[in-house]
A = this chain, B = another copy of it.
Amino acid sequence: MKPSTLMEVAQRAGVSTATVARVLKAKGYVSNDARSRVEAAIKATGYRPNAVARGLRKQRSFTVGHMLTAITANPFFVNVAHWAEEEALVQGYKTFLFNHNGSAERERLGVERFIERRVDAVLFTNAVDSRNVQLLAEAAIPVVQLERAATIEAPSIRVDNKSGALEAIAHLVEFGHRRIAFVGGDPDRINGGDRHFVSVEDERLGGYREGLRRAGLSLDESLVRLGLYYNIADGGSGIEGYRHMKALLELPERPTAIFATCDILAAGALQAIYEEGLRVPDDLSIIGFDDTLAANLAPQLTTVAQPMEDLGRLGFRAALDAIEGRIVAMSTVLPTRLVVRRSAGAAPYLKSLSDGN
């Protein structure tokens, strides 16, 4: 049978809807007699509150929208979305996901759908086009941006990409590496080159440069390889990382270590290395970023983990704060964490020294 209504429960219990409502939200005066009759009626009818009607009346849908770039290609998005949803759940909310594959038009479509659904707020993980964020601001729907710098329209929660990169480089330097390659996203190509936001890519590259400087190493531009993180079209394979690695291995003076700013790129690089018959970390060290694929690769990848759970949970909480009119910090920066596994080790020349002992 269809779920019954408040009215039906009221009739069955011989009271008015107001009394049923008072029992349901346990506030206001209700006699014990009425209460037990209502409770019995609720049980008998299998009553469940209708969230749609409630949404209309309260002018709150208790849903938030979550815009994402590449849910099938990059597990990073899945994790952030999962934890945002998890936090939403305990607060009586549900999230709607919308995947735009990096297209500004699709993102726009998603924003329109969200407005029609009357979501109470929207989370953007990796916003593409700032006009879409603005569109929501105009509709008086609060926005929280994840992995993007704050804009006038919306606060942001992000990760300290630069120090993450610094930590990775320092780790490699400690192992004696002096030729460290950078394989990462190209700030001019990611997201169609929209530079309205301070770029994650810029920061990671900046951390790499700074890390070399601190170690007294000079920068060799031939070791810096920029491109896309993954090709969404082909299901998100790490083909880009593979190509970069191939090119690096053909260099007259090969790097001894690779810093890849995405586990997917690292995975592609590992494929190229495998093909060449080289071993990690014996012949070559590699550090990834994100901690998504890392634990599933061979060897398990040392990587700079992003706090995906915090990103998701705090993201939702900030959205809720905005919905309820509380103050929201314009900018929150979360730390990364270097997860040491098995892909980074002593530089080969050091190894041969110790082998010689």
Task: List A121-146 residues whose CB lies under 8 Å from chain B.
Answer: 138-140
B-contact bits for A68-80, CB 8 A (1 contact / 0 none) = 0001100100110
Copies of this chain: 2
Is the CB of A247 closer than 8 A to any CB of chain B? no
Q: A52-B52, A52-B56, A52-B117 are in contact. Are A2 and B97 (CB under 8 A)?
A: no
Least Cβ–Cβ distance between A52 and chain B, in angstroms:
5
Binding site for B on A (CB under 8 A): 1-3, 46, 48-53, 55-56, 61, 71-72, 75, 78-79, 82, 85, 89, 94-97, 99, 112-113, 115-118, 138-140, 234-235, 237-238, 264, 267-268, 270-271, 273-275, 277, 279, 293, 295-300
Apart from A52-B117, A267-B296, A268-B296: 18 A-B pairs, beta carbons within 8 A: A1-B139, A2-B140, A48-B116, A49-B116, A50-B116, A51-B117, A52-B52, A72-B78, A78-B78, A85-B97, A85-B99, A94-B96, A94-B117, A96-B96, A97-B97, A267-B297, A275-B298, A298-B298
**Contact between A270 and B298 (Cβ–Cβ < 8 Å)?**
yes
Partner among B271, B295, B296 whose Cβ is within 8 Å of the Cβ of A299? B271
A95 to B264, CA, bound (A): 28
Q: Which of B1, B61, B297 contacts A52 (CB 8 A)?
A: B61
> Are B99 and A2 interface neighbours, CB within 8 A?
no
Contact (Cβ within 8 A) A267 B113: no
| Distance to closest chain B CB from A341 (angstroms) | 10
Q: Are A118 and B52 in contact (CB under 8 A)?
A: yes
A298 engages B297 (CB within 8 Å)? yes
Which chain B residue lies CB-closest to A239?
B295
List the B side residues contacting A113 at CB < 8 Å.
89, 94
* A277 contacts across to B, CB distance below 8 A: 279
Residues of B within 8 A of A56 (CB): 50, 52-53, 56
Docked complex Cα distance between A237 and B75 (Å): 13
User: A139 touches which one: B2, B49, B95 (CB < 8 A)?
Assistant: B2
User: Are B298 and A273 within 8 A (Cβ)?
Assistant: yes
Contacts of A234 in B (CB 8 A): 295
Beta-carbon contact of B61 and A140 below 8 Å: no
What's the Cα separation between A61 and B293 when bound, in Å?
Answer: 37
B267 and A298 contact, CB distance less than 8 A: yes
A238 in contact with B296 (CB, 8 Å): yes
A-B contact pairs, 30 of them (CB 8 A): A3-B115, A3-B118, A3-B139, A46-B138, A48-B112, A49-B116, A51-B116, A52-B55, A52-B56, A71-B82, A72-B79, A75-B75, A75-B78, A78-B78, A85-B97, A89-B113, A94-B113, A94-B117, A95-B97, A235-B295, A237-B295, A238-B296, A267-B297, A267-B298, A271-B300, A273-B298, A274-B298, A274-B299, A293-B293, A296-B297
Chain B's closest residue to A99 (CB) is B82
- Which B-chain residue is minimally distant from A86 (CB atoms)? B99
State whether B72 touches A82 (Cβ < 8 A): yes
Q: How far is the CA of A234 from the CA of B294 in the complex (A)?
A: 13
Could you tell me if B298 and A271 are in contact, using CB atoms closer than 8 angstroms? yes
Give the complex CA separation of A305 and B87 in angstroms: 33
Whether A72 touches B75, Cβ cut-off 8 Å, given contacts A116-B51, A270-B298, A297-B297, is: yes
Residue of B nearest to A291 (CB): B235
User: Cβ of A268: which chain B residues have Cβ within 8 Å of it?
Assistant: 296
CA distance A293 to B236 in the complex (A): 10
